[in-house]
């Protein structure tokens, strides 16, 4: 959504952004992002201690979910399903419909219904970004309720959208099979940097691995990467950027001491999204080890891959149904391994560590793939968004 807002504003559209704020640690990154944008912004802030919205929305959300579970998601009216699916649904609707608009375009789990309701309230058309397959993405203990709510909402609103976008061919196919709709695929690519990466290695004796996310926790393949480095028996560093779940980093370091004593596990704090490509530069290998324990992970393409390509970093990626076509397309830039196959992953690490020429070729192939196809300015990425918005405005 951030890239879409920037692109549409640059193309001359009058853009207004509505966003949420609920994580205290992300405030600094939000301020950094905002400092380089001029479009107006309305923030729905439901951080604890930031005002009454935290308590009001929390009580309403829990009550709505209890009632939804009792009735059953398939029988719910849209208004109740939306409140049970998105904690600040009413606040988002109010913010988005506060001023007139020709088109309201939005997404994320809690925002889907708000986009449709706000558009109807102010007489506008709406478009939805289905970044994930929402009826198959939750890993929480109450995932059956969340998936049922997603199906109820999507069944009511997808068919009336001016257009739909999603982030991978696999997710688009899943939505087509579930609802008969045809989302347009706009991959989660990023701006092409003005300068090429420096492919020299400051520490050629150490294989430097990199991974980033908002949250550092289980289910991301990090344990496999550590174990694989032990099997490969090569010296290395694993740098993790993000906010760790309490105690998780200690557990990873204990695992490294037991299984990969030649590997150091390092931690870096979260950083603004505009800095992600530059921060990945200089590493040898980026990890995109998507797992397959939930459907969305099976069919998604990690946004990390597109960051690594633009940074000129080789990619160790799991050969999931969603990532396979991309892995084939980027060729030598990626080491494709079956999910959970530590031996195969170790073989990739070992080859790149012991044959520096293959690592250099992989890094250069990553940058070549980024320039050729996998950047935001490409006609099939930002250009497709422009075409969809233009057609919706007719």
Q: Does any domain span residue 196?
A: no
Q: 107 and 14, same structural domain?
A: yes
pLDDT attached to residue 210: 98
* Residue closest to 237 by CA, chosen among 265, 203, 267, 200: 265
* Residue closest to 241 by CA, chosen among 206, 276, 274: 276
Q: Does any domain span residue 110?
A: yes
Distances (CA, A) of 297 to 171, 300, 321, 328: 10, 5, 9, 18
Residue 18 lies in domain = 2-189+377-392
Q: 342 and 223, same structural domain?
A: yes
Residue 97: CB atoms within 10 A of its CB come to: 20
Q: Does any domain span residue 200?
A: no
pLDDT attached to residue 381: 97
Residue 240: CB atoms within 10 A of its CB come to: 21
Question: Residue ranges of the alpha helices (H) in the chain?
Answer: 2-10, 27-34, 52-71, 78-85, 89-96, 112-121, 143-157, 169-179, 222-232, 248-259, 276-280, 295-299, 303-311, 324-330, 342-354, 356-372, 382-392
What is the token pair recorded at 50? 């930031």
Q: Does any domain span residue 34?
A: yes
**CATH number of the domain enclosing 168:** 3.40.50
Q: Does any domain span residue 195?
A: no
Question: From CA 264, how far away is CA 270, in angstroms rounded?
Answer: 19
Partnered with residue 42 across adjacent β-strands are: 18
Q: 214 and 124, same structural domain?
A: no
Question: From CA 224, how far away is CA 343, in angstroms rounded?
Answer: 9
Angle formed by the axes of helices 78-85 and 52-71, nearest 10°:
120
Q: 226 and 311, same structural domain?
A: yes
Q: 383 and 356, same structural domain?
A: no
* Residue closest to 286 by CA, chosen among 338, 356, 222: 222
Q: 215 and 169, same structural domain?
A: no
What is the token pair recorded at 289? 């080890």
- Beta carbons of 165 and 130 less than 8 angstroms apart: yes
Total number of domains in the chain: 2
**CATH number of the domain enclosing 325:** 3.40.50.2000
Partnered with residue 130 across adjacent β-strands are: 166
pLDDT attached to residue 335: 98
Q: 161 and 44, same structural domain?
A: yes
What is the token pair recorded at 206? 């150490």
Distances (CA, A) of 334 to 23, 321, 344, 361: 33, 15, 13, 10
Q: 112 and 226, same structural domain?
A: no
3-class secondary structure, 226:
helix
Q: Does any domain span residue 198?
A: no
Residue 255: CB atoms within 10 A of its CB come to: 17
Q: Does any domain span residue 55?
A: yes
pLDDT attached to residue 394: 78
Q: 384 and 336, same structural domain?
A: no
Q: 225 and 145, same structural domain?
A: no
Question: From CA 182, how far away is CA 172, in angstroms rounded?
Answer: 7
Mean pLDDT by 10-residue block, N- to C-terminus, for the chain (394 residues)? 95 96 83 90 92 95 97 94 96 96 92 96 96 92 94 97 97 97 97 96 96 94 98 98 96 98 97 93 97 93 96 98 97 97 98 98 98 97 97 88
Return the residue matching tokens 């001029």: 38
Q: Does any domain span residue 353?
A: yes
Question: From CA 145, how far away is CA 133, in angstroms rounded?
Answer: 15
Question: From CA 210, how far away is CA 214, in angstroms rounded?
Answer: 14
Q: What are phi and psi of 210, to 5 degrees?
A: -140, 145
Q: 300 and 318, same structural domain?
A: yes
Q: 355 and 211, same structural domain?
A: yes
Q: What is the pTM of this model?
A: 0.94
């Amino acid at each position: 959504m951030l890239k879409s807002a920037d692109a549409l504003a640059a193309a001359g559209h009058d853009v207004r952004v509505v966003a949420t704020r609920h994580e205290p640690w992300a405030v600094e990154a939000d301020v950094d992002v905002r400092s380089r944008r001029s479009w107006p912004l309305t923030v729905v802030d439901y951080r604890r201690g930031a005002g009454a919205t935290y308590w009001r929305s929390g009580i309403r959300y829990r009550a709505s979910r209890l009632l939804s579970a009792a009735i059953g998601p398939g029988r719910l009216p849209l208004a109740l399903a939306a409140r049970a699916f998105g904690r600040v649904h009413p606040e988002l609707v109010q913010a988005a419909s506060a001023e007139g608009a020709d088109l309201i375009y939005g997404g994320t789990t809690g925002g889907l219904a708000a986009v449709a309701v706000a558009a109807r309230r102010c007489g506008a058309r709406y478009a939805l970004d289905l970044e994930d397959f929402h009826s198959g993405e939750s890993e929480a203990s109450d995932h059956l309720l969340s998936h049922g709510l997603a199906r109820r909402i999507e069944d009511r609103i997808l068919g009336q959208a001016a257009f739909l976008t999603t982030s991978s061919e696999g997710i688009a196919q899943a939505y087509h099979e579930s609802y008969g709709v045809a989302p347009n695929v706009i991959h989660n690519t990023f701006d092409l940097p003005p300068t090429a990466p420096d492919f020299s290695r400051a520490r050629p004796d150490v294989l430097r691995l990199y991974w980033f996310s908002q949250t550092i926790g289980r289910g991301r393949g990090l344990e496999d990467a550590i174990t694989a480095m032990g099997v490969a028996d090569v010296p290395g560093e694993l740098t993790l950027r993000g906010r760790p779940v309490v105690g998780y980093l200690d557990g990873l370091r204990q695992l490294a001491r037991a299984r990969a004593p030649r590997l150091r596990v390092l931690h870096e704090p979260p950083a603004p999204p505009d800095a992600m490509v530059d921060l990945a530069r200089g590493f040898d290998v980026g990890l995109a080890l998507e797992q397959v324990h939930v459907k969305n992970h099976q069919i998604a393409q990690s946004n990390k891959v597109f960051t690594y390509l633009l940074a000129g970093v080789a990619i160790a990626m799991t050969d999931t149904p969603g990532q396979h076509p991309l892995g084939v397309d980027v060729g030598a830039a990626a080491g494709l391994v079956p999910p959970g196959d530590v031996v195969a992953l170790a073989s990739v690490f070992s080859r790149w560590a012991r044959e520096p020429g293959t690592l250099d070729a992989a890094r250069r192939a990553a940058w070549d793939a980024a320039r050729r196809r996998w950047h935001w300015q490409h006609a099939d990425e930002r250009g497709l968004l422009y075409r969809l918005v233009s057609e919706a405005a007719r």
